[in-house]
Amino acid sequence: MEPISTNFRWRQIALVAIAALVLVACGGSSSDDSSAGGSTLSGVILDPPPQVDLVSLPSLSDPGTDVDFRARPGGMRVVYFGFTNCPDVCPTTLADLTIALRKLDPADADLVDVVMVTVDPERDLDRLDTYVTSFVEGAIAVGTLDVEQTVAAGAPFGASWEVRKLDSGLVEVDHSPFLYAVDDAGQLVLSWQFGATSDDISNDLSLLLDRYEA
């Protein structure tokens, strides 16, 4: 296996997305309160929410089909852009998401689909499905060697990445470390930054499902 080095500088995401982010519920209250108990969303909301379902990508879990970024009616689709050789951020994020899904009421958990898009397709196309389903059973692996298509799909999310092959043979990958929640209208309704707890993710998904259920 090729030696891997990952530097998470996130400089492009700062330019593309952060200027548009509206932070909510960072230890405070929100006027857009969706739960009967007065709880608020802990993630990051884009206002207005971007439409992210205009570009689909090939499924690696069900070859020959395409995956769009739109939840099932009444459900949520959690999307992640990452890669299998990621030493820390990707496995940590997926592990936290796995725990969050287990904390949901089973009926709610059944309404959440997980999609992982590879940003390192040259190494991931044959292994991403096994990788992501080792965290979340039934998760959907997505990827293509068509870099422009992947960039077009990731742009409305504000997702960014860079893969560099060094003369030494080392491969370096930078990528934005967010999880994205997409509703059944194909809109990006919430993002979680790296480090969001499983409790926060689980609670937010519960609130979103209650808000966007059919």
Q: How crowded is residue 138: how many other Cβ atoms within 10 Å of its Cβ?
A: 11
Question: 125 exposed, middle or buried (CB, 10 Å; 0-12, 13-18, 19+)?
Answer: middle
DSSP string, 99-149: HHHHHS-HHHHTTEEEEEEES-HHHHTTTHHHHHHTTSTT-EEE--S-HHH
Cα–Cα distance, 64 to 61 (Å, whole number)? 9
pTM: 0.81
Contact 80, 117 (CB under 8 A): yes
pLDDT in tens, the chain (214 residues): 344 344 433 333 333 333 333 332 222 333 344 333 337 898 998 889 999 999 999 999 999 999 999 999 999 999 999 999 999 999 999 999 999 999 999 999 999 999 999 999 999 999 999 999 999 999 999 999 999 999 999 999 999 999 988 878 788 888 999 999 999 999 999 999 999 999 999 999 999 998 865 4
Angle at 23 between CA 19 and CA 29, to 5 degrees: 160
Cα–Cα distance, 175 to 206 (Å, whole number)? 28
Cα–Cα distance, 89 to 25 (Å, whole number)? 24
Nearest residue to 115 via CA among 75, 147, 86, 87: 75
pLDDT of residue 13: 36
Region 4-212: CATH code: 3.40.30.10
Q: How crowded is residue 118: how many other Cβ atoms within 10 Å of its Cβ?
A: 25
pLDDT of residue 212: 61
- 């991931």: which residue's tokens? 124
pLDDT of residue 24: 29
pLDDT of residue 168: 82
82: helix, coil or strand? strand
- What does the domain layout of the chain look like in residue ranges? 4-212
Kind of pairing between the strands at 76-82 and 179-182: antiparallel
Structure tokens at 28: 């405070």
pLDDT of residue 47: 86
